[in-house]
Amino acid sequence: MGDERLLRRAVPVESFGTPELAALLADMRDTMAHLDGAGLAAPQIGIGLRVVIFGVHANPRYPEVEEVPDTVLINPELAPLSEEIEESWEGCLSVPGMRGWVPRWTRLKYAGFDEHGRRFERSVAGFHARVVQHECDHLDGILYPMRIRDLAKFGFNDALFPGQDLPREE
Ligand code: NI
C-alpha cells in the first residue's frame, strides 16, 4: 500500500495464449503460493493488466472457510444480482498483517476470459463473491481500506484477533 502502481486503472488484455500472458500468470501463481494468498491481481506485482487469480481450498486450519475454485479471470465484468450488502473482515497481500471490515455485494454475476481467451461467466455468493470483488477492485486502483466505513474496524491482526489463525489474505 502506497505504491502508485496499486492506484492506477489497469488496462485490458488484448492477446490471449501468448508466452507473455503465460509468464505473467506463472509469476502470479508463484507469488500467491509463496505468500499463501487466496487471490492476487496483476497490479500487486506491478503489472497494469486486468488479470486476477484466486482460489481457496479446504484446510483443516480454517474449517469455516468456503471453498472457491482456482480461477484465472481476465478483463472481468461484475454485476450485482441483488442490492444486498454484507460486511465482513478482509485482508490483502498488499496491506500485510492487517484486517478491515468491508462492505461487499452478497451475490453477483461475473464474466471474463480465461488465459486461452475463452469467455465464461458465473453467478456466485458469499466468500466467492467477496474475493472476486476484492481482486477486481485492484484493477481499478482500489484497496480495501478505501471501502471501510468505520475505521475503528481496521487494524493489525495481532490486535484485532490475538492468538488466532486467520484466513488467507488476498
Ligand atoms: Ni488485495
CA of 123 to the centre of ligand 1 (A): 21
Give residue for cell 471453498. 67
Instruction: List the catalytic residue out of 115, 135, 169, 170.
Output: 135
pLDDT score for 125: 97
CA of 40 to the centre of ligand 1 (A): 6
Q: What whole-number distance in Å separates Cα of residue 17 and Cα of residue 36?
A: 26
Active site residue 121: no
Q: What whole-number distance in Å separates Cα of residue 157 and Cα of residue 165?
A: 10
pLDDT score for 150: 97
> Where do the structural domains in the chain lie, given as residue ranges?
4-160
CA of 151 to the centre of ligand 1 (A): 18
Q: pLDDT tens, 97-111?
A: 999 999 999 999 999
CA of 44 to the centre of ligand 1 (A): 8
- Model confidence at 37, in pLDDT bands (50, 70, 90)? very high
Give residue for cell 492506477. 8
Q: pLDDT tens, 130-148?
A: 999 999 999 999 999 999 9
Q: Regarding the domain delimited by 4-160, which CATH topology (the fold level of the hierarchy) does it fall under?
A: Peptide Deformylase (3.90.45)
The answer to whether 115 and 15 are in contact (CB under 8 A) is no
CA of 170 to the centre of ligand 1 (A): 4
Of 135, 130, 143, 131, residue with least CA distance to 75: 135
DSSP state for residue 57 in the 8-state scheme: -
Predicted confidence (pLDDT) at residue 89 exceeds the cutoff of 80: yes
CA of 82 to the centre of ligand 1 (A): 24
pLDDT score for 74: 98
> Under DSSP, is residue 128 helix (H, G, I), strand (E, B) or coil?
helix
